[in-house]
Structure 1
Amino acid sequence: MKPITDAEWTKRPDLPSLVTALGADECRYVGGCVRDALMGLEAHDVDLATRHQPAEVVLRLKNAGIRTVPTGIEHGTVTAILDSGPVEVTTLRRDVATDGRRATIAFATDWKEDAARRDFTINALYAHPETFEVSDYFGGLDDLAARKVRFIGDARERIREDHLRILRYFRFHARFGSEPADAEASDACRELAATLKGLSRERVGWEIQNLLALPDPSPTIARMAELGVLAVVLPESGGVQVNRLARLVTAEREGGVEPDAIRRLAALLPPDPAIAEQVASRLRLSNAQKKRIKLDAARTEKDTLNPRALAYQLGMEIARDRLLLLDSSVGDLAGWEVPRLPIKGGEIVAAGVGAGPQVAKVLQTVESRWIDEGFPDETRTREIMAEEIAHLA
């Protein structure tokens, strides 16, 4: 594993002032930033855990001239606003009661007690803010070295506390795990898969999108299908769709196309716009995402006949999606920009065609021929226009 001090975030110039305000022995870097630093990965968020209660955190940071935002103060989280980026500062906690969707917490002062309420061992690593010495209470360092995603304590208990941890498990396994997967975790996810039905659709949709955005989620998605988890959160999928996702990932890689969660979600659905719309609504996708997945679902084999015409008619994004989903090459679109028709209706009128339906008809015919001829230049387009006007005589 890499030294934590190699990570870019540890070099942020304003972190020491935050640590000084809280007291170096009263706070620890925790979670993803520590895990990712040890793996040599870029961390997108920096989180601090502290013994101080939220009101004390706010007071200390105010006295140090650091602005705060109470982003989750009821759960003990205050966001420190630094020039180099925000840092979430969260008071140590312990669970008082859980119901699978939310937890009632109490503030704590013991680092191990706080670690015990976290989900996976690799997420319960704490680093001293000055020495960067790692505190590991549940074997997270060994699991990280072995690329093993393992629940802290009893997997079933962890899932009963928060049902979303099933989906988080698969997302973390797709990102950090190796085979064979942890047997206890797999068994627990299979047994408790039905509990996912009680979660908010937004939370489920967010987790699915984050999983599908990873470099290659297809083996993990296939395992979710085998364990009966996928059928709960995405019943429209099936064996054929899971196989299509694997082919799509390969096609993206071979075509030099960046991974995309919505395209991959479309691969898991039948090519049916009505079904795509239902899924998009259920997962609370944005309007833009809903429109895109419906267009992806309307794909047919005819789309592969003229990729550039497809891109002109529907846009580059949809054309690329459809071709990849149809196991067709996107080579014709590489480095190509969608052109504009070189003429407008006013030019047809100026050429002697009376304003009205005939102008639209000529323009439509010219555009159709222009597409069929492979988008020729302006000179050739005007020749086509002249030919069509001559036909009106």
Structure 2
Amino acid sequence: MTKRTSIMIALAVAIVSAMLAVAIMANGPKPVATFRVTAEKTERVLAVVGRVRPNDLVQVRPVNPGQVIRLLHDEGDRVASGAPLAVIKSTVEQAQAEAELARLAAARARAAEVRQSLSRTTTLFERGFAARAALDQARAASRAAEAEVTAAAASHRATTARTREFVVTAPMASIVLARPIDNGQVVTTTTTIFELGAVTGFEVEAEVDEAYADTLRPGMAARVSPSGSRTVYRAVVSEVSPKVDASTGGRRVRVSPEPIPRLAPGRSVDVTIVVGPAESLIIVPRQAVVDATVAPRVLVVGLDNIARSRPIRIADWPSTNAIVESGLKAGERIVLTPAEVATGSRARPLQPER
């Protein structure tokens, strides 16, 4: 046998061996990624994204429409309760207040004159030089003059109070969060000229789907973490809105962190509300569940390495993984990629890192 013949025979044997190996692999058990089911102590939680807001948030609007002639504060300023924020043009109202002040001065002068006349008439009556009718007339004139003074004073107070309403003041000690207008702008009674937030305390507000909000109650424990941060703060549910927003189908939920961190209003925060205490639950990756919304099932790999379909019941609860209420028990293996494995086929489990 020549050297060339030996090489040809060896090559033929290698090709046949390779073909046999391919055939064996094609007909043998398919390697699949599996997941070993275990029962774990797990809390049932609801995770949503909320926003930081002050405990008290006020949209300041003017009592009267007009042109803003002076803005006294800007975003970030701290203001005391009652501090002036803006001035709206009130030329006519100021003129009316001056006119009412002049009427009050005239009424007081008239009342002083009538009082002097009453004093003289009283003296003449006591000396017998004036009739009682003249005295009665003088007394009536005095009462009328005093009434005119009272009416003029009330009118002046009303006009002055109306004029003061053109100076917009802060309803509470607060910080200016927004000032959406500029000097010279004409505003109405529905125009927000300042947004104020309480200087102490804040809460996190989130919207929860109505299907899950019914399980929430004030006092429930929660955790909050500013988006992009690993810091976690303890919190408690402080309020659950009694109504559903018809436009979004959600209910407003507020949580109060303890202690209160320093976060800017409007900052997005990850909120985790603990709905149920830690209990032993079977949790599997959602990718392993077939037809999760209609008839959930998984492929279970038995001791004979055959993948069999099994119906399960999963909790209707939003979570990263599926919470299995029945159909599986600890120690069983399920296929992680059921779309790649036919029911009843043989499988060679590959246990991935969990």
Flag the structure with more relative contact order, 1 or 2, with Cα contacts below 8 A and sequence separation at least 6. Answer: 2
Q: TM-score scaled to structure 2, two decimals?
A: 0.20
Structure with the higher strand share, 1 or 2: 2
Structure with the higher helix share, 1 or 2: 1
